[in-house]
Amino acid sequence: MSDLQDLAERYIATWNETDPAARRRLVDELWTEDCSYTDPLVAAEGREAIDATLGAVQAQFPGLVFTLGGAVDAHHDIARFTWELGPQGAESLVVGFDVLVADADGRIKDVHGFLDKVPSV
């Protein structure tokens, strides 16, 4: 469980890394080569696409910070957790729920994301 807690925390930290080179290093360290990320707005296959997705989200929400919204619930190679996106120390603008699947080496293979709260346009 603590390994998946750590993996989820590192995953969230990757969403907050604004330096493109550092972010890409984190993606390469944390994700398997055949990884995928899927949520209602995007389906990304492979590290390149996931890195591009992270960059696009950061461009869409500049200055906002991702945080874990509570404890990580995990078993076997699967973790589920709520995350929040908003200004540091203020009410979250976006809230989501992710299910992370790790491989045998403790790297992220797949993430299935859900959006629970999104800003109205």
pLDDT in tens, 36-70: 999 999 999 999 999 999 999 999 999 999 999 99
Q: Radius of gyration of the chain from Cα atoms?
A: 13
Sign of the C-alpha dihedral computed for residues 79, 82, 85 and 87 taken in this order: negative
- pTM (2 d.p.): 0.94
pLDDT in tens, 87-106: 999 999 999 999 999 999 99
Amino acid 79 reads A
| Structural domains of the chain, ranges and CATH numbers in brackets | 2-117 (3.10.450.50)
